[in-house]
A and B are shown apart, each in its own frame.
Chain A
């Protein structure tokens, strides 16, 4: 899997939007961009994934740059429960059951 680069930590005020960046300059044309997050004392959980177009679900939005070399996970209104480590991971199109390869992720702190 291609490598991703994320800031070590970010901070946000409660109820404000949060933009978590991820750089993946060596992404291949068939790599999907996945985001997982890990709440304190929990295992990682799926957030969202996309290939080329921006994606929305009930948890977040994923904005993908036109050249696909970067992406941004958007939490529209951060809550205290969103404080977690967020991982940006690339997976090939035929990844089926291939494992996730985690970096260090971005630790998001949310301030009340």
Chain B
């Protein structure tokens, strides 16, 4: 079974530029998450989708971050304009979400450096 795919793996941009990350979840997984992980910290949820609807985006800095999952499968996370503090790993994860204790599967992450 293919895992969660993310691209690009690494990205370096200057502050005030824009960047987009792409995620393809495991086939059939209705729930998709985007996390931000700053060096030395645990991942922090940015946004959660159920199919193509947003479940929770309370921690997404909406003045500069946006995310979409138009057809309920792939998702993109965009940052515009980027700030230095956005340097982090952006992790996409998915789950079938049907039962309690269900496993959440993570991609390898997209590493962003803002200079």
Contact = CB atoms under 8 A, between A and B. Distances in A.
A41 B107 CA distance: 11
A96 B42 contact: no
A96 B33 CA distance: 13
Contact of B42 (A41, A87, A93): A87
Interface in A92-109: 92-97, 99-105
Interface in B24-67: 30-31, 33, 40-45, 48, 50, 55-56
Contact of A96 (B56, B93, B97, B106): B97
A95 B101 contact: yes
Interface residues of A, number: 25
A43 B101 contact: no
A96 B98 contact: yes
A97 B91 contact: no
Contact count band on B: 20 to 34
Interface in A72-112: 85, 87, 91-97, 99-105
Contacts of A105: 42
A7 to B, nearest CB: 14
Query: Chain A: interface secondary structure?
Result: loop
A15 interface: no
A104 B101 contact: no
A43 B108 CA distance: 5
A57 to B, nearest CB: 12
The 8 nearest A-B residue pairs measured at CB = A97-B97, A43-B106, A102-B42, A97-B31, A46-B103, A99-B45, A93-B100, A102-B43
Interface of A: 32, 34, 41-46, 49, 85, 87, 91-97, 99-105
